[in-house]
Chains A and B, each alone.
Chain A
């Protein structure tokens, strides 16, 4: 698991950002990327791969590995580490290949 150092925890408590992650309410700090928020919330993996359906989580945290793909507010295949967590964001696990939106 990941944990926050006291400073991070304090900032979260002072200005919490409320997210929904796979239906659950999660709080993170202003300035956290979605991927960081997921790690701090206890999730190590955020998607199942399209080819073999195996679980993956963020790997590089800088936008080059594309392993941190999640669905954000209904938009699939978003890189969690490149998106700042915003209040009310709805984050869902990316289950394999995305759908074409209807």
Chain B
């Protein structure tokens, strides 16, 4: 085997010409959008980095979550619910194309509270959220301890209750990624790893992405490269203020299935392992360091929620960088300077996957974002675009 003839897989392309649409970024956001694009047009490509990159997707908890979303931006509440409603459609489509299921469970979701103060805060918050003018209405309930105990036997004595809604759910984010990438293979989407984009030019109505393997061309592009969106956004005249926010999760060994309903910060996966989250630290780019005190706090809270987990073993911890916009809400925008170039960023890649694939992608194909997307543009930050 000669290392000099580097005929690596990353160079193999089905389509050699100009793509109809191209996504920069192969994580949950980019992959979902690319999948959606492929259902509308023929030649789609995804440009991705290599194996070791700031991959927020690998730290994802997998919630398909509605409750709590949209305080300060009701449009986000709407967008989230629209995705939640379409999620089973996305899952079915993926299964039909790839034969892979993605662990979708939409049986409801809980947000536990462990003190009186937490209980009251939660009630106030959810009421205020739903009461916002223009906010989408859905049923939610504050369960007291007794009601919660009926739903989740084994809840700890400190748990005073939980906010509950029937429309929350979970999926398996890694299965999602795998299914999306398998769909690329089946449907001839050119997924090109090791193709980081250095620059973007616009020539003769075509976008040209400069990569180490040469220029890749497309009629429309979506920049969905997470923390990389800032630099790439500049290339298309958009200022995308995103910053890294570290989240750490703990993974417990497989047990027989015990927890059927997910908590926002504690869930059991379809294959039996447990995930415990979630922390939020402004930790710059240190995604490879795990702090012991944070693990202790995460563990402590989980043990208080379900005490029986005390002797279940931690098999690994994970740290990943969320892609946080200035106000925490997604950014979807078409470049005014370069129509046909879009940016998409959020930190709820699983929840919004269906909206990304089945609502955002068609908008991109059509060449413009619908009116309902206006609140998500960066104009809300009043930033000046730089060329």
Contact = CB atoms under 8 A, between A and B. Distances in A.
A97 B309 CA distance: 14
A98 B315 CA distance: 14
Interface in A25-55: 50
Interface string B288-329: 000000000000000000001101110000000000000000
A97 B312 CA distance: 11
Contact of B308 (A75, A77, A97, A100): A100
Contacts of B255: 97-100
Interface size class of A (residues with CB under 8 A): 10 to 19
B313 A97 contact: no
Please report whether the interface of chain B is mostly helix, strand, loop or mixed according to DSSP: loop
A50 B309 CA distance: 18
Interface residues of B, number: 12
B254 interface: yes
Nearest to A95: B256
A100 B312 contact: yes
A102 B310 CA distance: 11
A98 B312 CA distance: 9
Nearest to A69: B253
Contacts of B256: 96-100
A79 to B, nearest CB: 11
Interface of B: 154, 253-256, 258, 272, 308-309, 311-313
7 contacts: A77-B253, A77-B313, A96-B256, A97-B272, A100-B256, A100-B308, A101-B311
Given A50-B272, A75-B311, A77-B253, 15 more contacts: A96-B256, A97-B254, A97-B255, A97-B256, A98-B253, A98-B254, A98-B256, A99-B255, A99-B256, A100-B255, A100-B256, A100-B312, A101-B308, A101-B311, A102-B308
